[in-house]
Structure 1
């Protein structure tokens, strides 16, 4: 005889604290009452995820209670990241939003399901230790910056009252990073042009970074309507900090832009008609550097190169800060590299003026008695 087929038992509805859990259509739903209102919601969780469904229902009930009192509910960290992105999608630059999305998708580790007030110093330090197993100390500091950003935003939204953790940034030894040498600019650009003959917009991206000090994303997403040819200025409309500084366009770059200027649209579209990717731009940089025998540098170092050139020409630091669109002058200081050749020349001039060089008016003089 065939044994009867046993169907899996569907659990009945039951109370879980202030909510009633209800199995329906293969998923868990829940019901609760606040005042005179009764609410029925779905957890979207399948029946096998009973514990998870209960947590979703209790979280929703707690949030509803807070909203009824005119307060914001305290989210879990992954939820706070999503809420921040939703709130700032139009106010922040595309690259900044992408960085926060990556942070929330890949690097929250065991912090993801913790409520913000559960982000203790010990929890954050442990998560950072895990992050540093595959990343450098400087990247760990950036990771901490993003975590603080989310928590500070939650404080302003009154989701939490104060920063829940106190973790200091790691001390990172500053390493001199390569720049594009001044004496190699023309030959480097000639090599770039040869490499991008099939797609000149790739070369124009690099010229925008060198000539205007734009961030990589700002150069790749440049638009014609932001260029004012009559005033010889360019005002990027999608920047990391939301600033709208009009940058003066140098003559050599303006001449190139005038030849191909359009009323509107992407300034440097790729073959597909959309902005080129960072990886494609970086491949061109790498190939050009290798061809002329200079150290490889990243696309962002062209922005630092621009800042350092301005400093070498005597432009004040606060002016360079505005030219780069920085909000904190300490960020600008981190971009600059001292040209030691300029320091050596200045030392010679100081020595002559102070009489310590043994040279006066171009003639050698004795500095001691024979």
Structure 2
């Protein structure tokens, strides 16, 4: 059994009956037969689900809209924005499909369409959003399991920039010079680096969350809902004390209002140009402090707690390799092999290894 599709004037209509309900007859208000058939089949499938005491299978668009209402208010702004962009720009024809019909072939074809204008890493992020939505349907028992089996694409890892300590003071001064009317931007980038704050956490930072006696800062609005005290460097405490307020936003516009996303990017671009520190972004400041802590001997579990990551694998992805340690190891190996470097002319010499 299925819905009967027929044309009346310019539009396609459908008709069906699922007992014990009355007969249904409606217009699709569509002139395209294939699209009208999809609408009719969806209506029929929903009616069958109701007759069997279940809930209709939502389309991907309906599921996304429901997620926004139910889960959106409890998710981070960045997370909600990613889901919203996915629904607005990257459905690739899947929006009208019941989520149970989004099988391996559908997902692979949609991903191929995405890869025509985007890179592999972006395609993997696209896949995560799709899985997030459909797995939510699984948790709500709309679906028994994920209806596709598609693996993530392998992505060549590229080295990411970190802010060299030798350039830090000059870089901060360049940020300050690039934002003379917004001194809070300089405060924000210092807190992003020395406290490892996310951009959203810097935007919402408040004076009352600083314990001046203990020299700690407790982010009160975080992505993972943690409330852990972070030790502040004495230098950062001394920098913030002259600006100290009893309460309110630490980072704010001259009129006291909250900044929007990406508020510091223009000043950071200027500082990168002056200091030749290509690739530094607000999030790479967070990666910089993680890498510097690792190079200074902090265990990864401590860095994980400092960055407030749920999974240590996330922390590991932040840490860049320290090539200085490799250089030191190379020098020790060369010394044992009897190889020395003549400082005068830079000529490699070989001598027998002596124990």
**TM tier, shorter chain?**
0.7 to 0.9
Whether 1:162 and 2:145 are equivalent positions in the alignment is yes
Partner of 2:124: 141
SS in 1 for 2:93: helix
Asked if the contact 1:72/1:157 (under 8 Å) is kept, the reply is no
- Cα offset, 1:100, TM superposition: 1.5
Q: Is residue 14–residue 40 contact of structure 2 (8 Å, CA) maintained in 1?
A: no
Verify the 8 A CA contact 2:216 2:230 in the aligned structure 1.
Answer: yes
Aligned residue for 1:270, secondary structure, equals coil
Aligned equivalent of 2:250, options 236, 246, 267: 267
Output the CA distance in 2 between the equivalents of 1:213 and 1:158: 39
CA drift of 1:188 comes to 0.5
Gaps of 5+ in 2: 1-7, 341-350
Cα shift at 1:335:
0.9
Task: Report how far residue 231 of structure 1 moved.
Answer: 3.5
Work out the number of aligned pairs and report it. 334
In the alignment, structure 1 residue 367 sits paired with structure 2 residue 347: no
Aligned-pair distance for 1:258? Answer: 3.0
Asked if 1:127 corresponds to 2:110, the answer is: yes
The answer as to 2:182 corresponding to 1:196 is no
Q: 1:57/1:237 Cα in 2 relative to 1: closer, same or farther (>3 Å)?
A: farther
> Residues 1-370 of structure 1: matches in 2 within 5 Å?
16-18=15-17, 71-271=54-254, 273-348=256-331, 367=353
What is the alpha-carbon distance in structure 1 between the residues aligned to residue 100 and residue 79 of structure 2? 25
Matched-pair contact (CA < 8 Å) for 1:66–1:72: yes
Partners of 1:56 and 1:257 in 2: how far apart? 61
Task: Tell me if the contact between 2:90 and 2:114 (Cα under 8 Å) persists in the aligned partners.
Answer: yes
CA-CA distance at 1:68 after TM superposition: 8.4
RMSD: 3.5
Whole-angstrom CA distance in 1 between matches of 2:277 and 2:217:
30
CA pair 238-61 structure 1, distance change in 2 beyond 3 A: farther
Give secondary structure in 1 for the equivalent of 2:116.
Answer: coil
Q: Distance in 2 between matches of 1:228 and 1:63?
A: 57
- Per-residue CA deviation, residues 22-60 of structure 1 (Å, 9 max, x unaligned), is xxxxxxxxxxx977xx9x9xx9x9967899899779867
Tell me the SS of whatever aligns to 1:16: strand
Instruction: Give the conservation status (yes or no) of the 8 Å contact 1:92–1:239.
Output: no
Q: Cα–Cα, structure 1 residues 192 and 116, in superposed 2: closer, same or farther, change >3 Å?
A: same
8 Å contact from structure 2 (residues 42, 98) kept in 1: no
User: CA shift at 1:348, angstroms?
Assistant: 4.0
- Partners of 2:93 and 2:14 in 1: how far apart? 30
User: Deviation of residue 288 (structure 1)?
Assistant: 0.6
- The structural deviation recorded for 1:187 is 0.6
Counterparts in 2 of 1:15 and 1:350: CA distance versus 1, 3 Å = closer
- 1 CA distance for matches of 2:245 and 2:52? 54
**Whole-Å Cα distance in 2 between the matches of residues 185 and 107 of structure 1?**
39
Higher mean C-alpha displacement, 336-345 vs 303-312: 336-345
Q: How much does 1:281 deviate?
A: 1.2
Displacement after TM superposition at 1:84 (Å): 1.7
Following superposition, the deviation at residue 167 of structure 1 comes to: 0.9
What do the CA deviations read for 1:72-99 (whole angstroms, capped 9, x no partner)?
4421111212222222233222222122
Tell whether the 8 Å contact from 2:207 to 2:247 is kept in structure 1 after alignment: yes
Q: What's the TM-score, normalizing by structure 2?
A: 0.80
Distance 2:278 2:192 in 1: 18
Question: For 1:90, what is the secondary structure of its paired residue?
Answer: helix
CA distance in 2, matches of 1:87, 1:197: 42
Q: How far, CA to CA, are the matches of 2:118 and 2:267 in structure 1?
A: 25
| Contact preservation (8 Å) 2:338, 2:354 | no
Name the SS for the 1:80 alignment partner.
helix
